[in-house]
Chain A
């Protein structure tokens, strides 16, 4: 990367402690937009965007702030979808416990996958995560509880805390919005915590971080587990919202999609993955009539991103205003 010639870009990507006021402004705008969005857009569409936005933010925590490109994040998203579906449908757990259980499953899986994958770096790390996720995919394809090609269908949304009936899409939307913001704020806090500061140091120069006495493998493992858990939170919520957990959720194309979302929005930016998820989900929805051509359009966007605006939408915006976004 040609960093020296573009000081604004560097500042844009730097999460300095004194420049957080515009983040708060951004969050307030985002919250306001999402509160009023159901007036103009379908809640189901919005919920899809929010689930994927949370997924992309969780993924970005790893790639954007630790520099670890995982190509197997579908494993955590999909595992959580199955876990939430199974817990809600077969065990009859209320939605909050089903999602909590799903998140825990993904966290444990993340710990295991992370423990294996962080031993390697760069492309090898990506390949190991992909391989592990593919193994899991074939396991889910065969395992009886996943319903194979059919997936788990008609998952009950149930009653939140046994009180609030989630059958209504708008009611469900408020819950998803709350879940999204909880996850997003946790990620935001993580990025700006003392722990996050060490993560950024590892991203910038791992040997130097080691030479300063940081056991970088443990930091990477905690970050990986956290990212997996939050991806699980997104996947579990998605299963409850759409009442469906299927092989699509664990397929490698799902891992690819989350990469695309983070890339389109802007890797290593706070708001980028949300914008990226909105763009990708919108395209899928509005271009659904094109059938398989959607993939081609997505591919073209990917190429355009890499060629024309490598920092992603929010990354380029941050460069223009000269502030990290």
Chain B
């Protein structure tokens, strides 16, 4: 293993919205092959952080390095091509496309940015086998021909995961993967994340602390845009500042 095994690093990452500092001087270090959770009370800047890392937002200050390369100036699609693939809080599927087509849209990316509007659809059949494997891996292979909009919520999240791992991302960013789920679905998605995280690196924002405790190797706690604490679950849960931040936000 390399001496420096950080896959993603930020230095002094900050984002200001018209005078409001949503993210303040955040130093993050995501180690390769780990599941890293980003937690914190509402409005702590977790999703903003995600948007900065994937370049959906442009940071006001600071640097982002991925695999040792400065990616601060890149566009979102370029970041994705390098292997940082994110999911969204609201399940992001292509509603009118079937589950199979959803996954295939990710798989066909390897054809490059192709604008071949004259070519037949049939070239995409080559990806059907792999797409079905991915659907099977997340347990929804029976829904392959069903439009994504018709899937149940948990199935949509599973489909989103299948689409994300189709790109073989080096780093997966999952934004609240279990948000809005029933207990049964939470368990299934958590198991799924554990399974797909093998051999990859995952950074996730998650509110469900049971999931965080179960999955993550490292936890970073954000509060009011700043890093409050970092460590494993035992360290974090014992930290009085973290307790205060959580309790304080619940009272307010």
Binding site for B on A (CB under 8 A): 3-4, 7, 10-11, 13-14, 16-18, 20, 186, 189-190, 192-198, 200-201, 203-205, 207-216, 218-219, 222, 226
Contacts and interface: CB of A to CB of B under 8 A. Distances in A.
Contact of A211 (B80, B119, B121): B80
B76 A211 contact: yes
B105 A201 contact: yes
B125 A10 contact: no
A212 B105 contact: yes
Contacts of A216: 77
Given A11-B147, A16-B101, A215-B77, A193 B94 contact: no
A195 B92 contact: no
Given A10-B150, A13-B96, A213 B167 contact: yes
B108 A207 contact: no
A7 B80 CA distance: 32
A204 B97 contact: yes
A117 B94 CA distance: 24
> Would you list the 9 A-B pairs with minimal beta carbon distance, nearest first?
A213-B80, A204-B94, A208-B92, A190-B117, A192-B121, A215-B77, A195-B117, A213-B81, A10-B147
Contact of B108 (A11, A194, A205): A194
Contacts of B114: 194-195
- Give the size category of B's interface with A: 35 or more
Contacts of B113: 214-215, 218
Contacts of B149: 3-4, 10
Interface in B225-239: none
Interface string B91-126: 011111110010011101101011111111111110
Contacts of A10: 95-96, 147, 149-150
14 contacts: A16-B98, A193-B116, A193-B117, A194-B111, A194-B119, A197-B124, A207-B92, A211-B92, A212-B80, A213-B167, A214-B80, A215-B113, A218-B115, A222-B115
Contacts of A218: 113, 115
B86 interface: yes
A192 B93 contact: no
A64 B124 CA distance: 22
Given A16-B98, A194-B111, 9 more contacts: A7-B150, A14-B97, A17-B124, A195-B114, A195-B119, A204-B93, A210-B76, A212-B106, A214-B113
